[in-house]
Amino acid sequence: MTTLATPYDLVLSGGTVIDPATDRNGRFDVAIAGGRIAAIEPDLSQAPARERIDVSGKIVTAGMIDTHAHVYEHVTGRFGLNPDMVGVRSGVTTLVDQGGPSCMTIGGFRNYLANTSQSRLLCFISCYLVGGLEGHLYPDLYGPKCVNVEHTVRVAKENLDIVKGIKAHAEIGGQSRWGLDVIKIGREIANQTGLPLYIHLGQLWPSLEEGPVPDADELIRELVPIMEPGDILAHPFTRHPGGFVSKEGEVHPIVFEAIARGVRVDVGHGSHFSFEVAKRVLDAGVRPFTLGADLHGYNVSAPTDMNADVREANPFFGVAPFSLTVAMTELLTLGLPLKDIIATVTNNPATMVGLSDEIGSLQVGRSADVSVLEMLNGRFKLFDNSGVEVITDKLIRPAFCLRDGMRFDSDSPLIPPAMAA
């Protein structure tokens, strides 16, 4: 047992620590001093501490990392959410904005968000000049003529402390316009920066009416050979065409080839989650490496000022609110072990962004980024994006988190109420 003459600032007492990176799973006390983890011991009850929080019956993990956020607030219009609402106020200490900032707007992202938010903000910079303006509602802005390799490479290299990858979209609406030209340009940017390429799957834009109808199954067969170890395929559970599952209802064999050579899978929940598709993919043996919530302004609330034409054209419209812990609950309901789910929001995403020696694990000396979760027992309703309802007997909810030792209660309005069945 550890004792100190100088008291700890805080001790989290009696919680169940789950830290896949160190294989720690059991009852431990966690002590914080000077914004860093000072001790992790079975019993620190006799150690002096300025404050103690009893977390008995709760799960204590490394600060959770959301690998798919859309938090470039204001600049990306109604698409971008408030970072701390998605982050620390939802029990999440680190957010990776996927494609919001571009080579033209990364300065604003750094100065007005990353430097001011309580949540740690990273990003995968968009390969498109416009980034994530208005949630990619205007496909003409996302063709190969709207990409500048030299500028994007230079800006990414100048901001490597926050830029951790390159974001692009592979979907049949774009394929009908430009084939995979933009993906190949994104590959060039990734190669020149030494960063991973993160690829959106699932139809985003309507296909062109003129010309041949694109083959959704052919898209992924053409895409995967472009990808390299460490790259990421997003939205494996999408119900939209152009994902992991073919028209025949089977997982494309090339997906297994990609995973075998080191391509990673990020759930990217958002508007791309289907219980039916998820079960098919998981039953086939595919396991997600990371879990991103993919919250944005079109899927956590239904805007009331959008006209009918815009609503019809927006595939994200009207999706019910959710949070990262709801996405974790869905994976638990689908049969994934809790330890594996914790890994998808802690050490695995830390590896994805190249920061596994800094975040994603509870270790003495590291910044005190800690998430405290509750596991509720009962009967709860879950909904996917196609309206399917599933009843579960367990629900994961955030209680609070510590970011560099500072406490933030989980009071975000984005956390949906526990809906009893």
Q: Which residues are annotated as a binding site?
A: 68, 70, 167, 200, 235, 294
Nearest to 342 by CA among 355, 356, 329, 358: 329
Task: Give the Cα separation of 15 and 42 in Å (integer).
Answer: 10
CB 401 within 8 A of CB 372: yes
Task: Give the Cα separation of 294 and 201 in Å (integer).
Answer: 13
Give the number of other CB atoms < 10 A from CB of residue 221. 14
SS3 26: strand
Nearest to 96 by CA among 60, 132, 130: 132
CB 205 within 8 A of CB 171: yes
Residue with tokens 């609070």: 400
Rounded to 10 degrees, the C-alpha dihedral 267/229/150/173 comes to: -40
Task: Give the Cα separation of 131 and 336 in Å (integer).
Answer: 34
The annotation places the binding site for Zn(2+) at 68, 70, 167, 200, 235, 294
Task: Give the Cα separation of 172 and 180 in Å (integer).
Answer: 10
Task: Give the Cα separation of 228 and 86 in Å (integer).
Answer: 30
Task: Give the pairing of strands 370-383 and 64-69.
Answer: unpaired
Nearest to 295 by CA among 76, 61, 125: 76
Task: Give the Cα separation of 382 and 391 in Å (integer).
Answer: 6
Indicate the residue type of 287. R
DSSP element (H, E) containing 311: helix 308-313
